Chains A and B, each alone.
Chain A
Amino acid sequence: MNEIVEGFIQAFQLIAALDEEVLEITVRSLLISLSATLIGSLIAIPIGGFIHFREFGGKRGLVTIIQTLYALPTVLAGLLVFLLLSRSGPFGFLRLMFTPTGMIIGQIVLIIPLMIGMTLIALSGVSRTKQDTVISLGASEIQTIVVIVKEARFAILGGVILGFGRAISEVGAAMMIGGNIRGYTRVLTTAIALETSMGNLSLSIALGIILLAIAMMVTGILFLVQER
């Protein structure tokens, strides 16, 4: 019990003193997950748009698969990207294993299904009449998608924020692809896993508090966005 209390005290000291290592890990976590979210959005939102607006065979099946992948285990996303990026894999020549870029790719794979799914839900929230109105006013297919996405932008942004939440909190892909290299690929979650196993509870708790604070901020932003 004493250990835990002591851990908390030390944790607050580390945060208050802006401990260099804690700060560095936090900034890296944010950079990697924000990059993954940004690139993921640029891929997921247009794909969501095309799935929503286009009629094609197997559409319902595809949507079911996407929904299933919301729950894609992080270690499976990690394994998939590992197979692709490892030396013997098809993209091994890019030498992205154990790099932040590789981690970004892993997180993108992880969150894209969720963001596509959220985009689909957001777009289906825009009434059919509104879509018909836009088409009847002479919009081309691209123009229609742009206007309807704009109409649904707050709901879509909610999905993007959810994606970020999943990216920053995952540990499987970050560990398998990043390798938890100190000062290079170590992020909040992998650091917590490692430090805990090594008995450095105070550092783990400090990093945990920061992770929770980020999660709280994300939820807060999500709340504000959906209030509008």
Chain B
Amino acid sequence: MIGFDRVFMNFGEKEVLKDVSFTIDHGEIFTFIGPSGSGKTTILRLIDMLERPTSGGIFIDGTDISSMKDRDRIAVRRTMSMVFQKPSPLRGSVFENVAIGLRFRDIGNEEIQARVPEALDLVGLGDYQERKATTLSGGEMQRVAIARAIATKPDILLLDEPTANLDPVSTETIERLVSTLKDRFGITVVLSTHDMVQGQRLADRMAVVIDGRIGQIGTSKEIFYQPMTRAVARMVGVENILEGTIARNDQGLASIEINGTSIVATTPLSPGTPVTVYMRPEDITFHVKDGVRSSARNEFTGRITKVLPIGPMVRMKVDAGIPLIAVITQRSYEELGLGPGVTTDLAFKASAIHVVERTEAD
């Protein structure tokens, strides 16, 4: 188990981490997601004891490693392995690159001869033993770096943006490998990424890191659909963030007043509470005017003010009394005859809306 207890980290004047606390359970895949420079890498480096925190406690299986002596730190570090965003090939063959962690641990030659090919097979580079490491491509070297890290059979594997510089095929290979490592060997995997979708694909739980603070910790579903703060919502692509007040609440089904428009959402909050309302742009549906009611509680008519194609999807700004942002497929967009200036019916479910009480900080 890995735990941070109120960790602060300064590099000179710059506060890189501010009051960071979390626990990671044994055998889970835990992802830190956040923009570049938010402090994700520093968290991983602190776990691997490459940095010492300015204050706060860092615990591995209950032992505080932040104040340990160097000699003891090496023993703890040898239960972990870290793979960096930019893999570093060392001089010599791929075999020697993968063997180096084992040599540091004074593991016998016979066992090295067995474990290195095993690790390379796992990353799909079984035939690469004799190749010079410096001649490999980025994706190949990243896989060698992972083989090098897992050859030591760590309890904890730290992966810092492991696929940030890789092509989609290499990325998929590495993601599959991460899942395998967890399932087959029970390794605790701690991963940082700025790719939210990757976080969602891999992680059991994730933490959103924004500007040196943990914004929220939870499952991907919790974070994607129930962001706790505006910053987290923005980070995970919840584009509709509106402020209103609860007007009525009928057994959890509330009416919320937003700029004179009323929407229906599920929340236990009582009338009069100021709230922030979050809704993902994909949760807004469009349909042609045909008099048929949809099952959604919220139905509006709105005018499309702006259209932006993003790959196979289309992002639209819609004025429906309240400003909304919606994303639908290009195909639907064409079939429904939508376009800038078009007035259309739209709907969203009460359950698609996440309601959070507004505090002073917001």
B264 contacts the other chain (CB 8 A): no
Closest partner residue, chain B, to A130 (CB atom)? B88
Q: Give residues of chain A (119-149) contacting chain B, Cβ–Cβ below 8 Å.
A: 127, 129-130, 132-141, 143, 147
A170 within 8 A of B: no
Return the contact of B77 from the options A133, A138, A143, A151 (Cβ within 8 A).
Answer: A138
**Contact: B86 with A140, CB < 8 Å?**
no
Distance A170 CA – B88 CA, assembled complex (angstroms): 41
Q: A129-B84, A143-B104, A147-B100 are in contact. Are A137 and B91 (CB under 8 A)?
A: no
A59, CB-defined interface residue at 8 Å: no
When distances are taken between beta carbons in the complex, the residues of chain B under 8 Å from A151 are 90-91
Say yes or no: A132 contacts B104, CB within 8 Å: no
> What residues on A are CB-neighbors of B77 within 8 Å?
135-136, 138
Q: Which of B36-63 contact A (CB under 8 A)?
A: 45, 48, 50
Q: Interface SS of chain B: helix, strand, loop or mixed?
A: mixed
**Do B88 and A136 touch across chains, with their CB atoms under 8 A apart?**
no
> Do A135 and B81 have beta carbons less than 8 Å apart?
no
* Shortest Cβ distance from residue B235 to the other chain A in the assembled complex, whole angstroms: 26
Assess whether B217 is interfacial by the CB under 8 Å rule: no
User: Is the beta-carbon distance between B88 and A138 smaller than 8 angstroms?
Assistant: no
A135 touches B78 (CB 8 A): no
Cβ contacts under 8 Å, A137 to chain B: 81, 100-101, 104, 148-149, 152
CB under 8 Å from chain A, chain B span 170-217: none
Q: A135 contacts which chain B residues (CB < 8 A)? A: 50, 77
Q: Is the CB of A139 within 8 A of B104?
A: yes
Contacts of B101 in A (CB 8 A): 137-138
Question: Given A136-B77, A138-B78, A138-B104, do A129 and B88 touch, yes or no (CB 8 Å)?
Answer: yes
Let me know if A133 and B84 touch, CB within 8 A: yes
Chain A residues with CB under 8 Å of B353's CB are none
Measured between beta carbons, the chain A residues less than 8 angstroms from B80 are: 136
Complex alpha-carbon distance, A151 and B133, angstroms: 13
- A60, CB-defined interface residue at 8 Å: no
The answer, yes or no, to whether A95 is at the interface (CB within 8 Å) is no
Complex contact A147–B90 (CB within 8 A): yes
Q: Which residue of A lies closest to B100 (CB)?
A: A137
B82 touches A136 (CB 8 A): yes
CA distance A139 to B50 in the complex (A): 12
Q: Which 10 pairs show the lowest CB-CB distances between chains A and B?
A: A137-B101, A136-B82, A130-B88, A138-B78, A133-B88, A138-B104, A139-B104, A136-B48, A129-B88, A143-B104
Interface residues of A (CB under 8 A from B): 127, 129-130, 132-141, 143, 147, 150-151
29 chain-A/chain-B pairs, Cβ below 8 angstroms: A127-B88, A129-B84, A130-B88, A130-B90, A132-B45, A132-B84, A133-B88, A133-B90, A133-B145, A134-B90, A134-B100, A135-B50, A136-B77, A136-B80, A136-B82, A137-B81, A137-B100, A137-B149, A137-B152, A138-B74, A138-B77, A138-B78, A138-B101, A138-B152, A139-B104, A140-B74, A140-B104, A147-B100, A150-B91
